[in-house]
Structures are given as structure tokens and as C-alpha cells.
């Protein structure tokens, strides 16, 4: 019996993933950070590897924009459409924009960012995304034995900052018990002028017996001006009682800590 072919595009943005198939592309690193003054160029390398055992892959390189939404998910946009975009500052050699990789072959791509001599805004940080896309879908078989065609796209986040001093500042606006009463909800904002990553650490103290519970840390990423709402799940086994929740946002050294507390009753 003939099986129908299915065309599948895997959009692998900002991370490396393994596919249970004979075709794959490895792109590293997942992020590049640039720093230079206006009019000054900096160059870094992206390595693209064809991990396929038998298929040659035709690859194309293109640019786009990205931003975070309020839950920290990536929102993609065409190049040069966001106020924070530096896509127009990026140059790539002509021979690196379209190329073919034999099985097991790798290629280094030079990515150069040159901010204009006169900047149109006062922002310290700008971003873009570099896409590496497979242009020739190849035959493969999924883990259920069905015939498929596979095409892969990877994205590398590009960050650029000017050499002026960066200021990191996270401000907590609110900490509440979510309406479902199964989560805590924390609202905070990146009030600095540079991207700021960190972790959210939560401890619960039962005020009736003194028992302490440390919850799993949550990693977050923000850009300047981002407002972020994060839900912190309460343990499913949490006993009924009165609690104090201490939530700390750690985004650097000991001078970069934000703390909020909430008293609540778990019923």
C-alpha cells in the first residue's frame, strides 16, 4: 500500500533540537552578543553543520526581528519593522547567504554588525534574528514509519549594545494569589536600558507549624521596557493552612535582587 507523503517544516528557533530522522542541521551558538560604538564594526561566527548521514542540504540565510510578549514567548516580525531592530546594520558575505552542505559538512558564517554613525534613537540595546533555512525538503521516515518530507529552520538571536554603561533594574509591581488559587502570580518590569536575564526563587513558609518549602526556580529573559507576568505553580501536595510566600528575583550579583512577600491561605 502506498503511503502519502507529508510535508513538515520544523521551525527550531533559538535552541537546538534532535529529530528522530535521518536529516538535521545544527546551528551554534543560539545567541550572539555584539558590543560597539556607532560606526564601528564587530564580527562573530555562526557554525552550521549538516548532521545528516546521506543528504546534501541547500541552506539560505535571512534576517528578521523578534521581541518578547508579556509571558516571555518570542514574537517574530519581518526585518526592520520593530523599533529595537538592528537588522539593517547586519552584513553577511554573498557566498554565505546561500550554500550547500554535504553530509557531515560544516560551514562558518561571518556575521558583522555596524551601527550607523548617527543613530536615530537613544536606545542602548538593539536586536535581530538570523535565520538558517533548509531549502530542499528531503525524504525521511518518522518514528511511526510514515514517509515524510523534512525541512528545517533555525534562528539565532542577535543582541547589540553600545559601549555606554548599561543599567540593569528589575522592579516588582505585584505579587498575588492567582484566581485559580493554584498559582502565585508575579508582575515585574525591566526598567533598565539593557537585556536582563535571571531566575525567580520562591519559598513557602507554613506560619502555623514553621515548615518551609522551596519551589523550583523559574528562568526569565527580558528586554528594556518589558513587563512580565509569571505564574508560579503551587505544589499539588501543598497542605491546607496559612502561608507566607517569599519571592526573590535574582538577576545578577548580590546588589541585583528584588523581593516580594505575600500572606495567603491555602484551602
Domains 8-161 and 170-266 share a fold: yes
Distance (Å, whole) CA 179 – CA 176: 9
CATH superfamily of the domain spanning 8-161: Immunoglobulins (2.60.40.10)
Distance (Å, whole) CA 26 – CA 235: 37
Beta-carbon neighbour count of residue 134 at 10 Å?
A: 24
Architecture of domain 170-266: Sandwich (2.60)
Per-residue pLDDT at 7: 40
Q: Where are the domains of the chain?
A: 8-161, 170-266
Task: Note down pLDDT in tens along the chain; length 267 residues.
Answer: 334 343 434 343 333 333 344 568 899 999 999 999 999 999 999 999 999 888 899 999 999 999 999 999 999 999 999 999 999 999 999 999 999 999 999 999 999 999 999 998 999 999 999 999 999 887 776 677 777 777 888 999 999 999 999 999 999 999 999 988 999 999 999 999 999 999 999 999 999 999 999 999 999 999 999 999 999 999 999 999 999 999 999 998 777 899 999 999 999
Supply the DSSP string of 223-252, one letter for each residue. -TT-EEEEEEEPPTTPPSEEEEEEEEEE-S
Q: Are 156 and 130 in contact (CB under 8 A)?
A: yes
Per-residue pLDDT at 253: 72
Per-residue model confidence as pLDDT tens digits over 171-220 = 999 999 998 899 999 999 999 999 999 999 999 999 999 999 999 999 99
Per-residue pLDDT at 54: 87
Q: Which of these, 225, 223, 203, lies nearest to 213 by C-alpha position? A: 203
Query: What are the φ and ψ backbone dihedral angles of 87, each rounded to 5 degrees?
Result: -60, -35
Per-residue pLDDT at 52: 87
Q: Which of these, 82, 152, 86, lies nearest to 119 by C-alpha position? A: 86
Per-residue pLDDT at 23: 62
The residues, ordered by sequence, that sit 6+ positions from 139 with a Cβ below 8 Å of its Cβ are 5, 147, 148, 149
Per-residue pLDDT at 141: 66
Distance (Å, whole) CA 253 – CA 256: 5
Q: Which of these, 130, 121, 50, lies nearest to 97 by C-alpha position? A: 130
Distance (Å, whole) CA 185 – CA 99: 47
Per-residue pLDDT at 144: 75
Cα angle: 46, vertex 47, 49; to 5 degrees: 150
Q: Are 245 and 203 in contact (CB under 8 A)?
A: yes
Per-residue pLDDT at 29: 96
Residue recorded with cell 534576517? 63
Per-residue pLDDT at 2: 38
Beta-carbon neighbour count of residue 118 at 10 Å?
A: 7
Residue recorded with cell 499539588? 236
Amino acid at each position: 500500500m502506498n503511503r502519502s507523503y507529508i510535508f513538515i517544516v520544523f521551525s527550531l528557533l533559538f535552541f537546538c533540537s534532535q529529530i528522530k530522522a535521518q536529516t538535521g542541521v545544527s546551528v551554534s551558538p543560539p545567541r550572539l552578543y555584539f558590543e560597539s560604538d556607532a560606526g564601528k564594526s564587530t564580527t562573530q561566527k555562526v557554525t552550521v553543520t549538516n548532521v545528516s548521514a546521506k543528504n546534501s542540504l541547500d541552506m539560505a540565510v535571512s534576517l528578521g526581528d523578534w521581541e518578547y510578549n508579556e509571558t516571555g514567548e518570542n514574537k517574530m516580525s519581518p526585518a526592520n519593522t520593530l523599533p529595537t531592530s538592528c537588522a539593517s546594520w547586519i552584513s553577511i558575505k554573498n557566498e554565505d547567504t546561500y550554500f550547500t552542505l554535504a553530509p557531515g559538512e560544516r560551514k562558518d558564517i561571518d556575521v558583522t554588525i555596524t551601527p550607523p554613525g548617527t543613530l536615530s534613537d537613544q536606545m542602548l540595546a538593539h536586536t535581530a534574528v538570523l535565520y538558517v533555512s533548509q531549502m530542499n525538503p528531503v525524504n525521511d521516515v518518522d518514528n511511526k514509519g510514515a514517509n515524510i518530507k523534512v525541512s528545517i529552520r533555525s534562528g539565532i538571536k542577535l543582541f547589540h549594545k553600545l559601549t555606554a554603561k548599561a543599567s540593569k533594574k528589575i522592579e516588582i509591581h505585584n505579587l498575588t494569589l492567582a484566581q485559580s488559587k493554584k498559582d502565585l502570580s508575579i508582575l515585574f518590569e525591566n526598567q533598565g536600558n539593557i537585556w536582563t536575564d535571571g531566575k525567580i526563587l520562591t519559598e513557602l513558609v507554613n506560619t502555623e507549624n514553621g515548615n518551609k518549602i522551596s519551589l523550583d526556580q523559574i528562568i526569565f529573559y527580558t528586554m528594556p521596557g518589558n513587563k512580565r507576568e509569571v505564574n508560579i505553580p503551587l505544589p499539588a501536595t501543598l497542605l491546607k493552612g496559612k502561608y507566607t510566600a517569599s519571592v526573590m528575583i535574582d538577576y545578577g550579583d548580590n546588589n541585583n535582587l528584588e523581593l516580594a512577600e505575600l500572606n495567603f491561605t491555602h484551602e
